[in-house]
Structure 1
Amino acid sequence: MLIRLLAPLLVVASLGAQAQGTVYRCPGPPVLYTDTLSAREAVERGCRTIEGTPITIMQTARPRAPGAAPPASGGARGAETRVDAGQQRARDDERRSVLQAELRAAEERLANAQREFGNGQGERRGDERNYQKFLDRMAELKDNVARHEADVQALKREIAKLP
């Protein structure tokens, strides 16, 4: 019964090996693996046959020539797609107001985190009988303060970039 199952697999495997052809490894600065050469051409180039070694072919993107223009992404922007100055000013004002609202919220979160951290002198809770739990909570609070300070600074930088 096992032979009946394996026989078709062996036939398919041998057909695949025959259909693949002879693969040659040709020397050179870029080593070339090819199956498009005849036996005579392979000998002339000094290529060797590769037998029983699986070969994986990987397609890669061709590098662009230096100074070449990048591929177009949806078409060129012309004069018809420009935004008039009034509309751009309105967008900038809206962006500024959104960033300022985010800044106020971030400053409030920072103040709350600093108050809770208490300069590292926070109150011990009842569930922190182990001193290490208290130290772990203080380290987490300190990290929160640093993260909120970084958020506030990033928002201030974004607002400063606006015209």
Structure 2
Amino acid sequence: MAAQAQQAVYRCGKEYTNAPREPALCEPLAPQSITVISGTRPTSAAAPAAVPRRSTPAEPGAAVASALQPRTPEVPARTPDVQQSERDAQARTILTQELDKARAQLAQLVQSYNQGEPEKWAAETRNHQKYLDRVAEMKAAIERTERDIDSLQRELTRRSVQASRRTP
């Protein structure tokens, strides 16, 4: 949509107006076409929120009064059960994959830990403390991975319970 301006438009410093206070200090702009871009409209059935009005010098208390007006919150539309069940299935798949990765990582860590006596590296033959530090880090990594596996299993169990509640 394009439309021509009805009146001349002036630039007065940083202000653009069609009624300048001092026309001698303003420069007229060449007529230009105006493009109007329509905004999007809310799709929910809820009423739009109240828009606060700006106060003018004639209405000094208008801003305070508009701030006290109640606003109607928009309620997001619920996704259909089919979409939700698809999302739940995807989440369970991702959790299962993460659980498999964590179990594989745990198996590798346990194998390299070798019941608390992993192979010594060349740099650790002269400095036994480096070896002890690495063994402690490996043990902490094993414990952390075990906790991750436990939490993933709990999350899978929780998702299975939620899915069974939805299906009658």
Normalised to the residue count of structure 1, the TM-score between the two structures is: 0.50
Which of the two has greater helix per residue? 1
Structure-2 residue corresponding to 1:77: 75
Question: For residues 97-134 of structure 1, what are the alpha-carbon distances to aligned partners after superposition, in whole Å with 9 as ceiling and x for unaligned?
Answer: 01111111111111111111111011112211222211
Q: Which has the higher contact order (CA 8 A, sep 6+)?
A: 1
Query: What CA distance in whole angstroms lies between the structure 2 residues aligned with 1:89 and 1:149?
Result: 29
After TM superposition, give the deviation of residue 76 of structure 1 in Å.
4.3
SS in 2 for 1:82: coil
State the one-letter code of the partner of 1:88. Q
Q: Could you list the runs of 5+ residues in structure 2 that have no partner in the other structure? A: 1-70, 164-168
Aligned residue pairs, count: 89
1:75/1:112 Cα in 2 relative to 1: closer, same or farther (>3 Å)? farther
Query: What CA distance in whole angstroms lies between the structure 1 residues aligned with 2:147 and 2:75?
Result: 36
2:148 is aligned, of 148, 151, 155, to 151
Structure-2 residue corresponding to 1:86: 82
CA RMSD of aligned residues (A): 1.9
Question: For residues 65-90 of structure 1, what are the alpha-carbon distances to aligned partners after superposition, in whole Å with 9 as ceiling and x for unaligned?
Answer: xxxxxxx9x93436xx1122111111
Structure-2 residue corresponding to 1:137: 134
Normalised to the residue count of structure 2, the TM-score between the two structures is: 0.49
Equivalent residues in 2 for 1:90-105 (5 A)? 90-105=86-101
SS in 1 for 2:115: helix
Q: Could you list the runs of 5+ residues in structure 1 that have no partner in the other structure? A: 1-71
Identity in percent = 35
Query: What CA distance in whole angstroms lies between the structure 1 residues aligned with 2:122 and 2:73?
Result: 64
SS in 2 for 1:121: coil
Greater than 4 Å deviation, 4+ residue runs = none
